[in-house]
Structure 1
Amino acid sequence: MDSASARLRVLDAAEELFYRRGVKSVGMDDIRAASGVSLKRLYQLFPAKEQLVEAYLERRDTRWRGRLATHVELHEDPRERILAVFDWLRGWFGEEGFRGCAWINAYGELGATSRAVAGQVRAHKRAFREYLAGLVADAGLAPELAGQLFLLAEGAMVTAGVTGRTEPADEARAAARALVGAR
Structure 2
Amino acid sequence: MGFFFKNKKKNKTEETMAQASEVTTETTTADGMILSREGIKLGLPSVSMEEAIIAAGELLRDLGYVDDDYIPAMIRRNEEASVYMGLGLAIPHGTEDAKKNVKKSGIIVMQYPEGVEFNGGTAQLVIGIAGVGDEHLEILAQITEAVTEDEILEKLKTTTDVDYILKTFANME
The TM-score bracket by the shorter chain reads 0.3 to 0.5
Q: TM-score, normalised by structure 2?
A: 0.34
For normalisation by structure 1, the TM-score amounts to 0.33
Larger radius of gyration: 1
- The structure whose residues are more often strand, as a share, is 2
More helix per residue:
1
